Every structure is written in structure tokens, then in C-alpha cells.
Structure 1
């Protein structure tokens, strides 16, 4: 049996993987978004339109791997917005964005072993928001390459999204990369179709409408995020 290739990089999903899973009040989320609407005085109508638009945007991601931005969300809802007023939306999300305390020690350990660290997130948020979060939590300097789907045409599970992340960490061979995520469709099945090995972090209660059309079988399971280091060491 041929020997498995070594590992040069570990690439991570963000929400539910590098952050702890939280159930989200989507009514409150869309109400926070509605605070940014201009030229429309009916806040409840704006909220409802933005909630429906969110379902459409994420449905396109799930079914067609089509990316979007916050601006696309407002456009889908048929509403104009003031980007400065998105602070209400960011403030709503901030308590749910805290980096898991295990991430800093894990990334430091992996980098000490000569591995590159990447991030690939399905997100409509701009890069600056994610960078602000990693900077706030003291781990941004440990990232070798990060890709946010708001900046590229595709979302996970498209192989092209994973290819962008591999390129971001300066590599070309997916077989020498590992992907860590909490979703069996976007993260595990998607990464495997792109040729990466996978580690599932099974801590998230994925809503049925976000579960996707197929579930991958991970190469390994990390019941604690810190376990990723020993799993990867075994593959090296």
C-alpha cells in the first residue's frame, strides 16, 4: 500500500470550529441589519425582507456554491443601506465571534512543527471584520493565509474555494493539506472532493436547512480542538 503524503498545512473553518457553536436568534439578527437601512421607515418590513434575503443568499451558497457579500444581501432585499450603520449588526454578532481559547496554543504548536496555518470561511462579511476578530483575540499573527468567500466567486463545498485556500498558504498539493471543520457537507465532504484530508469537530448543532445534500465521512474526529495536533502528528 503506498505511503500517505505528509502534511504541510492545516486549514480551518471559522464559525463553529475556531469559535464555539452558538444558536442564533435570526429575528434579532435581521433586526440588527435593518438598523442600517436608509430611505425606508418601516423597520419591521425591512427586517422581514432582510431575513428572507438571507435565506435566499445562503440557499445559493448551499445549492450552487455562489458567494455573496453584505451588500448583496441588501440588494436581494431591495433595500439601500449605510455601511456605517452596520455597526449594529457587528455588535449583535460580536459575542458569538470569540475565538476558542484552544486556538492560540494549537496554532502555536502546529507552527512550531513547521506547519502552515490557513483559514477558509463561508461568509458574507468583509475581510476586515474577520481580521479585527483575530487581532482582538491575539491570533492573527499565527495565520499564514486566509480566504473569505465574500472575496471570491465560490463558497464551500466548491473545490475552487478549497483551492483558493491552498494557494493562500503558499501550497499547490491538496493531498498535503488537512481541513478542519464542523460541517459534514461544506467542510468534510467538500474538502475531500478537493483532495484534502479532513478532521471533523462535531460540536455544532447544524440547522436542517444548512445541512447540505450529502455528508462526508471524516478521516478523523477531534472531540476537543486541541486533539487536532496529535491527529496531524500521526499523519506526518
Structure 2
């Protein structure tokens, strides 16, 4: 049992692979979609002019390589990155007249992979009935506005007390500053906060550095290139997201017989 004096007052969640189910994604294809749209080509047209196709796919390769370097810097030195910075490194002109059309096509490519797990809404509603604040801390190149559009689309944005995205701060997880900033955002000290995620390096080792407890959601098939060697063990394992309710209730030692799910309320 968790020692007295450390009640859970906030639960902060990873996004991809935790609040969204894990998906296998054709990563190079996202940039082919973007680059071909910038060049005014239909993405799947078999009759595209070969010279224009080659030019577009060369741009896609440059962006993919820039993104790969950005994520590698994140794993190795915890440096954050943004979509705008990656595109700039690849030589993309943000003033190009088809840039916004290409961004829209890129987002359409990702749309099937961004849907919030159906358990998120009942989970967040239950935590709030338990007077526990709900937060998000995500390693991402996407903007806060885009993530909030996703949460709003899926009907959970109003349940979120605070959210922090690496694209708008100086570091990525597992740097301790990322977790400190997330705790500051929800207004709860790290020792009274819990982090929930699907990766041992970023989501278990990371929060432990600042005194947070950490819950592993072991559903994601993390690519070998993204796995970092780390000696870390979660404080608990959630085999489905709603297990977080029981874990937190146990840590808060709800011996009064109350029902955290609010049944009959």
C-alpha cells in the first residue's frame, strides 16, 4: 500500500498508444501525401508525370529524414521538435500556395489513427467524480490546437484539466522538466500525481525521476529503434484504461465503501 500522506490528486496521461489505441502506420507515406499535394499531384493517380512524381517524392524523403533526426534527438538528448521546424529543416516554404492544402491532406492521412479510446470518457468522468484532476503530457510534433481539435471531435476536451505538448516546450519525455511542467499545469505536486503511458523509458522511468508514480499500459508494439535501454518497473499495470480507476482507488485506500464509479448516483 502507498504510504499515508501521498494521496493521488492528479492523473496525467500519455497520448499516442495510451489514450489512442496503438496503430501500425506507414510513416513515409504521410510525407508522400504531403509532398505530392504541395506539387499539385493526386496522391494515388497512376498517371502522374514521372518527373514531377520524382521531385515530390524527393521532398517527401527529405521531410521523413528530418523527422527521423528530430525524434532521434529527442531520444538521445531530449530536445523537442515541432512540425513547422521539421518542415523548415527539409526546405519547405510555409508560404507556398499549396502548403495549407498539403497540411490538410497530411492530417487526413492521420485521422484514422487519432481516435480516442472509448474508455477515455468514462475513465476521465470517474476520476473527476473522485476529485482527481486529469492531464495530458505528450511527446509530439503537432500543435496544441491540433490535439485539442482531436479531443473536441471525440467529445472529451471538456473533461481535460490541463495539457502539455512537447512541441511547445523545450524538452521531450523522459526529461524531468516535462513532468514538472505537466504537474504545474494540473496544479498538483509530483508526489501526488500519477503518470499513465505505454513506454518504459519515456513513461515509467521519466515520471519516477520527479517522484511521480507510474502506470504502464502494455499494449503498444514499440519499434525496436524507438526502445531505449532502461531499468524501470511500473508501480502498477493497467490492462485496460479503466483499470486506472481501481489502481488509484486502491492507492487512495478507499475503505469507506464508496463506489468510485458513482453507480446509482
Q: TM-score, normalised by structure 2?
A: 0.84
Quote how far apart the aligned CAs of 1:38 are: 6.8
Hey, what does 2:12 align to over in structure 1?
Answer: 11
- The Cα shift of 1:36 comes to 5.9
Question: How many corresponding residue pairs?
Answer: 235
Matches within 5 A, 1:115-134: 115-134=132-151
Q: Does residue 1:105 correspond to 2:122, yes or no?
A: yes
Which of the numbers 174, 184, 187 marks the counterpart of 1:157? 174
Aligned to 1:64: 77
Instruction: Report the counterpart of residue 191 of structure 1 in structure 2.
Output: 207
Equivalent position to 1:200, from 216, 227, 244: 216
Deviation string for 1:29-63 (max 9, x for gaps)?
12123246579x51110111111111100001111
Between the aligned partners of 1:215 and 1:15, the Cα distance in structure 2 is 22
Name the residue aligned to 2:33: 32
RMSD: 1.8
Q: Aligned partners of 1:125, 1:35: CA distance in 2, in Å? A: 20
User: Is 2:64 the partner of 1:51?
Assistant: yes
Contact 1:35/1:88, CA 8 A, preserved across alignment:
no
Distance 1:35 1:124 in 2: 21
Name the SS of the counterpart of 2:234 in structure 1: coil
Contact 1:37 1:46 in 2 (8 A): no
Q: SS of the residue aligned with 1:191?
A: helix
Which residue of 126, 145, 164 maps to 1:147? 164
Q: Which runs of 5+ in 2 are unaligned?
A: 41-51, 253-265
Gaps of 5+ in 1: none
**Cα distance between partner residues in 1 of 2:9 and 2:28:** 42
Q: Is 2:39–2:56's contact at 8 Å kept on the other side of the alignment? A: no
Alpha-carbon distance in 2 for matches of 1:220, 1:36 = 45
Q: Which residue of structure 2 lines up, in the alignment, with residue 23 of structure 1? A: 24
Secondary structure of the 2:163 match is strand
Query: How far is 1:181 from its partner?
Result: 0.1
Structure 1 equivalent of residue 191 of structure 2: 175
Q: TM-score, normalised by structure 1?
A: 0.95
The farther-off stretch of 11-20 and 24-33 is 24-33
Higher mean C-alpha displacement, 206-215 vs 7-16? 206-215
Q: Deviations over 1:160-218 (max 9, x none)?
A: 001111011112x2110000000111111111112110000000000111112325210
The 2-side partners of 1:37 and 1:157 are apart by 35
